[in-house]
Amino acid sequence: MNKLIALFVLIFITVSCKNKGKSDYILPTSNGNTNKILVVIKGNDWEGKIGDEIRSVFGEHQVGLPQPETLLSVGQIDPIGFKGFIRNARAVLILREGEKEKIAVEKNKYAEPQILVYATAKSKGALVDLIRNRGKEIIKLFKDEDVKFTQNIFKKEKLDESQFKTIKKLGISLTIPERFKLVEDTGDFLWLRQHLKSGIARGDGTNNVLVYSYPLEDESKVADNITRMRDTIGKKYIPGTKEGMHMITEQAYTPFTFDAEIDGKKAYETRGKWEVKNDFMAGPFINYTIIDKENKRVIVFEGFTYAPSVNKRDFIFELEAIAKSLKIK
């Protein structure tokens, strides 16, 4: 009898251990910055037409920035070198030849969080065509994952938004990190500022968040009025150092506006440059103008950066991640 009980115990332990299996394995933490990917491809292909196409598509300049900066920063590793610590890269594009053209995604295979994008085509020439024709799709996969990654970091250091009259009055929520400090909160307009701590911009550089709304009157004119509305807000709330100075949209640079969606609602994303009238201060901005039909209003989130002499892509990207966390309660 004792032997029978011992046998059942042994079987139970064995089955339990097998059931745990791979699910109990703790993945290492991934490495790598946002807006940066690692491309797994042979060196001669990287130096050839495939690499040229990758550099052309992924190296396109991000609109709305003062200095030329690429959509993504790209590094390369030969397949034979894609092992060990290197496999823990957070964002990886793997190019390979196969019978069927496809783009596939795998997450958290070697590390966490991690996204692996597999681009497969029948030949090297077909891979070139795949990158050319579907490169924007691949970029979006990486960008969307970067937004989630950044938002998850911000959730761990989230500012208590219940203290702000404007956010409460608008009935919205945002994931904003604690490093942003209050500049102004009227109940109709919110301005938060983060002082940057790195690079040449340290001390003077800032990232800024603006939130406000206005009545929805004619939906067909919302996109055309984005620049006029932000200039009105700049004149009213964002002064310069002397009388007569205030923020405006840079007059020598036409902003780019794209269709977007925030919290399931139609929106417009606008990227451009701001300046202070009659002064030398300037920088990039990103604006999300959200049509809230249910409440007959337009909600505006804007982020702008002042960071002299340093690249600003990643600063603006953090503001984009905050904007895309917006929820209407």
Which residues are within 8 A (CB) of 205 and not within 5 positions of it... i.e. 6 or more apart?
Answer: 195, 196, 199, 305, 306, 307, 308, 310
Whether pLDDT at 117 is above 60: yes
In the chain, pLDDT over 70 holds for what percent of residues? 91
Which residues are within 8 A (CB) of 55 and not within 5 positions of it... i.e. 6 or more apart?
Answer: 74
Q: What is the pLDDT of residues 12-42, one digit of tens each?
A: 444 444 444 445 679 999 999 999 999 999 9
Tell me how many degrees the CA angle 124-145-142 measures, rounded to the nearest 5.
25
Rounded to whole angstroms, the Cα distance separating 56 from 36 reads: 15
Chain centre to alpha carbon of residue 41? 26
Rounded to whole angstroms, the Cα distance separating 155 from 152 reads: 5
> Model pTM greater than 0.75?
yes
Q: What is the pLDDT of residues 90-115, one digit of tens each?
A: 999 999 999 999 999 999 999 999 99
Domains and CATH numbers, the chain: 36-155 (no CATH), 158-328 (3.40.1000.10)
For residue 197, the model assigns a pLDDT of 76
Neighbours of 160 (CB within 10 A): 8
Judging by DSSP bridges, how do beta strands 206-215 and 297-306 pair with one another?
antiparallel
Which residues are within 8 A (CB) of 39 and not within 5 positions of it... i.e. 6 or more apart?
Answer: 46, 54, 74, 75, 76, 77, 92, 93, 95
Q: What is the pLDDT of residues 50-81, one digit of tens each?
A: 999 999 999 999 999 999 999 999 999 999 99
Of 126, 139, 147, the residue nearest 45 (C-alpha): 126
Mean per-residue pLDDT for 271-275?
97
Of 192, 198, 161, the residue nearest 315 (C-alpha): 198
Percent helix, strand and coil across the chain, each to the nearest 5: 35, 35, 30
Which residues are within 8 A (CB) of 184 and not within 5 positions of it... i.e. 6 or more apart?
Answer: 190, 191, 237
Chain centre to alpha carbon of residue 252? 27
Q: At how many degrees (to 10) do helices 124-156 and 49-58 cross? A: 40
Rounded to whole angstroms, the Cα distance separating 301 from 320 reads: 10
Query: Would you place residue 156 in the very low, low, confident or very high pLDDT band (cuts 50, 70, 90)?
Result: very high
Q: What is the pLDDT of residues 171-202, one digit of tens each?
A: 999 999 999 999 999 999 999 999 987 555 55
Of 174, 183, 178, the residue nearest 237 (C-alpha): 183
Cβ pair 213, 300 in contact under 8 A: yes
Neighbours of 18 (CB within 10 A): 8
Q: Which residue has the higher pLDDT, 241 or 34?
A: 34
Q: What is the pLDDT of residues 205-219, one digit of tens each?
A: 999 999 999 999 999
Cβ pair 94, 116 in contact under 8 A: yes
**Which residue is associated with the tokens 């390369």?**
76
Rounded to whole angstroms, the Cα distance separating 151 from 301 reads: 16
Rounded to whole angstroms, the Cα distance separating 203 from 309 reads: 13
Give the Å distances, CA to CA, from 131 to 92, 124, 125, 177. Answer: 15, 11, 10, 36
Q: What does the mean pLDDT of the chain come to?
A: 92
